[in-house]
Amino acid sequence: MTTTHATPLSAEDLEVVHLIHSALRRDTERLADFAQKWRTADPGTHDALLLGWHGFSTELHTHHSVEDVYVWPFMRPRLAHDAGAMEVLDAMEAEHSVIDPALAEIEAALDDRETATERLGGLLDGLVTSLGAHLAHEERDAFPLIEQSITKEEWHDISMRAFAQLDKREVSEMLPYLFEGAPKDRVAVVLKSLPVPVRVLNRFWWTPRYARERRWA
């Protein structure tokens, strides 16, 4: 049950987080042969791999930052009486503290042309494993706590405050990234929560530009 008499969260309210997780999983599949392609690719493919990686790593970092700054701190006072819930939130932050440095280590490896294919592949495999486990853990244990401790109105406020911290470039890259390959009905749920000008820009400028860019292969 929620801690106030306001409207409880619905599945639609959390659709944006589900889309984020789906997009991240989509790209972890693309990392399977990234290291081998990275060392053997022609310049055009090399640039496409780098563009794909940077999109993935940027959105993952943004997702974790939003949770660490806006979501988990909001939930803690509401759930302070529940030791199990506190353990889950502690685990979410601990898992972020492992994944985020892994991203930085891979970035450094990509910047170093002497990095061996095997080492880069090992770093990527480790990231894929830890991220997959984290996403599953969050969906299994943290999502129910979000629904329990945050109302629909509060979730909207948190979402808008987090959204307001993004600049236009970040928003223009984030939305097409999230929507790539997603079912239209799920995309529609998220779009209807956004301001009309953002929806227009995404439809006529941001998504077409994203579709024209070569990434991953």
Q: How many domains does the chain have?
A: 1
Do the domain assignments include residue 3?
A: no
Is the distance from CB of 75 to CB of 118 less than 8 angstroms? Answer: no
**pLDDT above 50: residue 187:** yes
CATH number at residue 48: 1.20.120.520
Do the domain assignments include residue 165?
A: yes
What band does 2 get if pLDDT is binned at 50, 70 and 90?
A: very low
Token pair for 133 = 């486990």
Do the domain assignments include residue 200?
A: yes
pTM above 0.85, yes or no: yes
C-alpha to C-alpha distances, 169 to 81, 124, 165, 174, 198, nearest whole angstrom:
41, 27, 12, 9, 12
Do the domain assignments include residue 2?
A: no
Q: Which domain holds residue 134?
A: 15-212
Do the domain assignments include residue 208?
A: yes
> Tell me: the pLDDT tens digits for 72-131?
999 999 999 999 999 999 999 999 999 999 999 999 999 887 778 889 999 999 999 999
Do the domain assignments include residue 149?
A: yes
pLDDT at 43: 87
Sign of CA dihedral 124, 93, 26, 216: negative
> Tell me: the pLDDT tens digits for 8-51?
888 889 999 999 999 999 999 999 889 888 887 688 998 999 99
Do the domain assignments include residue 90?
A: yes
Do the domain assignments include residue 10?
A: no
pLDDT at 112: 84
Sign of CA dihedral 146, 70, 65, 58: positive
What letter represents residue 50's amino acid?
L
> Tell me: the pLDDT tens digits for 129-168?
999 999 999 999 999 999 999 999 999 999 999 989 999 9
